[in-house]
A and B are shown apart, each in its own frame.
Chain A
């Protein structure tokens, strides 16, 4: 939009906000204006202070110093209730949804219309139908779908609708798109824009720089708890934001030294499963093969099939020329595979156990003599990888659950590096981790390829796939729809293959709908 509108006045003013935790100064004197009818993006590495700021706004944390004011009147937020009453709502990544209750009741939970002792379903449904129609969500959020049937995107929508039924003036969203498909992201953005146009002040926290440039009016960058820049989004580029966040450039982070050898490490031939149809490809030693595709294309499932975690019906998987019998992941590990799963907390780590126990889990037999773990040796081996991967932990005995996301991911990587694999499968290795740790993981992938390890890289971040892969395989609905050389491939080419046939029409329909709503 090119029409110059007068700068709206600030609705929420933050002055000198500070908060410290033991050993960490999470926020140090942040000044920020949040304006009505504007989308303010808040960006920064993990630990930069974004979450702390949101938790202060939601009343979960009390600041150590600083003043908040809404409409010029000072604001004291003693708890989540205070925050809601003043019209501030924070939407977190994983909203609380009651699984056994439908969408309508989930939205109005706690304030269900009643008729005597019973819920007045008729009144409830009328209200919800009205709201869904008003925001254009009848098609995507069926009123009678049960909580447990909802996708992450639908859960977010329920939480947002909950917020909207009260008079919300400031709406903050914490990484709302991290588990959404592109199509769902489009819908969410349409909703956010509509809310902005009605005069709601929006704070949008995200790691995804491109997304922010698309959506935000202004961008605020936090680094180490301090505000480093607030600028109109149209004055910023992706490169510049990364530089502001870390003081380094993305291109430097994504440097590769091609190292592919002729020796084939992984060979997948005509594999069909519940999730796949006729998948064939090879990965050679020292080669990084990127797997691109939309969420739900079957990439994670393919990784798990190769790793012996999910079954396949027909076809062959061979490692180093030997056909594998894969009954369970242990078989794959013995053959020289490692898998860093997509969801490291749920599938990768034993959060309540120590760094050393987590890192040595896949090589315990090798570290043991007569089944006794040689603990000196174990600590030496793990210590080496902690140093090599630059894992920031107070000690080897620290509980893994207490580390930051990036360091947790590095512990998973340490486990597999210690196992000296021939093939390493990395499923979204940089999801939810800060730019600094990302750069380290990119460098590591390059190093590992140079050591002759074959790498299967699954990622939804296209720059990552384009910058790191020797070859790119694109999947869609359980099939391989194309292969591109790593050098010279463009995002458009990859997206074209990822959204071939039916899906692309869907996406087009969604964007048309979005246009129409504007």
Chain B
């Protein structure tokens, strides 16, 4: 950069200079820039929450506990990532928990088909082809997502109704394909590691494999939404479907892809679930995931009207909710209260989102006047 520049651009520190003086303020700015300024309130809420819980429990800040949170959020995080795309596109997918349930059973069945049955009280399987199980789980999620997309586009059923119907249907399917309707125990250690394994990437901080998977998927979907033409089309569709169509976007095909991706992400969540619990579970662990995922997406800044929301915002909200739920456990708050709290949080998240929307609209009319 030359010295003579006196315009506003010169005042802006370049990426290089920012890296040189890495004070806490600079790091803070970078974090804000990467999650978006609109998610600032979320970061602040997270900070306040952490301080509150930590002041009540001395266990919260232990590395073990923090990593537990990381492990626990991976399942809901994966579902929420897919849900973000759907909500940004102005729709909703409430069948994601059921898709995760089917994928969980399918992953176990693939292992069953390629491994040995071990005797015992229930059905258990050793060995088996772990990569095939992962592929199988993701694929079934993708297919079920396409089923949602087909019902919504070809049959023109409203998205909420369509996925409410498949929420029930896919849950039934999960029980139907599970032998005897019961969980299948999985003993393949490589597969189980996806859910419970730890990697010593940082000394003293064994990072959960499932958290790494979540991060990888989040980065992948984040790039898709932010840097690729697919993401632009999704934002356009959510912001104004009629205009998106008239701008040349193939809306039907796009909707199919959106639900397929949401299904695939839920399928991945089902795989982690199987790995973590050592068993293909038709219902346990995946029931109610849609509620938590949708809460996280709205809390993360997405708008019910579509066209707004980011993967980064959703991830922040997932961490916030994870910390909250962990804190409530540490403080010994009963599950029933936690359910009420989750419901309340969804209301708060949507209320905040609507309030933002109204404020944006007011700003718009003011300029128009």
List residues of chain A with CB under 8 Å of any chain B CB: 21, 24, 26, 51-52, 55, 307, 309, 328-330, 333-334, 339, 341, 346-353, 357, 360-362, 364-365, 367-368, 371-373, 375, 399, 401-405, 415
Contacts and interface: CB of A to CB of B under 8 A. Distances in A.
Contacts of A399: 360, 364
Contact of A353 (B229, B239, B249, B305): B239
B123 to A, nearest CB: 43
A172 B153 CA distance: 45
3 shortest interchain CB distances as A-B pairs: A350-B239, A333-B248, A364-B229
30 contacts: A21-B367, A21-B369, A52-B369, A55-B369, A309-B245, A328-B250, A329-B245, A329-B246, A330-B248, A330-B250, A346-B243, A347-B240, A350-B239, A350-B244, A351-B240, A352-B305, A353-B235, A353-B239, A357-B236, A361-B244, A361-B248, A361-B249, A364-B229, A364-B232, A371-B228, A371-B229, A372-B227, A373-B232, A399-B360, A404-B367
A373 B230 CA distance: 9
A415 to B, nearest CB: 7
A80 to B, nearest CB: 15
A352 B358 CA distance: 12
B1 interface: no
A399 B366 CA distance: 14
A169 B3 CA distance: 66
Contact of A402 (B246, B250, B367): B367
A55 B367 CA distance: 13
A373 B228 contact: yes
B75 interface: no
Nearest to A361: B247
Contact of A373 (B227, B236, B248): B227
Contacts of A328: 245, 250
B229 A373 contact: yes
Contacts of B232: 357, 360-361, 364, 373
Contacts of B360: 352, 399, 401
A349 B308 contact: no
B250 to A, nearest CB: 5
Contact of B368 (A364, A367, A405): A405
Contacts of B308: 352
Given A309-B245, A347-B246, A362-B248, A403 B367 contact: yes
Interface residues of B, number: 30
B239 A352 contact: yes
B243 to A, nearest CB: 5
Contact of B364 (A362, A373, A401): A401
Interface in B191-246: 227-230, 232-233, 235-236, 239-240, 242-246
A322 B307 CA distance: 37
A433 to B, nearest CB: 12
Given A352-B308, A372-B227, 5 more contacts: A21-B366, A346-B242, A352-B239, A352-B307, A373-B228
Contacts of B248: 329-330, 333-334, 361-362
B246 A348 contact: yes
Contacts of B363: 402
Interface string B298-320: 00000101011000000000000
Contacts of A372: 227-229
Contact of B246 (A55, A307, A368): A307
Nearest to B366: A21
A41 to B, nearest CB: 19
A362 B250 CA distance: 11
A415 B247 contact: yes
A13 B65 CA distance: 71
Contact of A341 (B244, B246, B364): B246
B350 to A, nearest CB: 17
Contacts of A401: 360, 364
Contacts of B368: 51, 404-405
Which residue, B229, B246, B366, has most C-beta atoms of chain A within 10 A?
B246
Given A330-B248, A330-B250, A371-B229, A349 B367 contact: no
B88 to A, nearest CB: 11
Contacts of B236: 350, 353, 357, 361
A349 B244 CA distance: 8
B364 A402 contact: yes
B243 A349 contact: yes
Contacts of B240: 346-347, 349-351
B113 to A, nearest CB: 35
Given A51-B369, A329-B248, A352-B360, A365 B229 contact: yes
Interface in B314-369: 360, 363-364, 366-369
Contact of A309 (B229, B230, B246, B305): B246
B229 to A, nearest CB: 4
B239 A368 contact: no
A25 to B, nearest CB: 13
Contacts of A360: 232
A361 B249 CA distance: 9
A352 B303 contact: yes
Nearest to B363: A402
Contacts of A352: 239, 303, 305, 307-308, 360
B307 A353 contact: yes
Contacts of B307: 350, 352-353
Contacts of B244: 350, 361
A488 B228 CA distance: 51
A368 B229 contact: yes
Contacts of A347: 240, 242-243, 246
A161 to B, nearest CB: 26
Contacts of A353: 235-236, 239, 307
B354 to A, nearest CB: 14
Most A CB within 10 A of own CB, among B248, B249, B305 = B248
B238 to A, nearest CB: 8
A329 B247 CA distance: 7
Contacts of B233: 364
Contacts of B227: 372-373, 375
A330 B247 CA distance: 7
Contact of A368 (B228, B250, B366, B369): B228
A70 B311 CA distance: 56
A239 B233 CA distance: 45
Interface in B270-313: 303, 305, 307-308
A101 B303 CA distance: 30
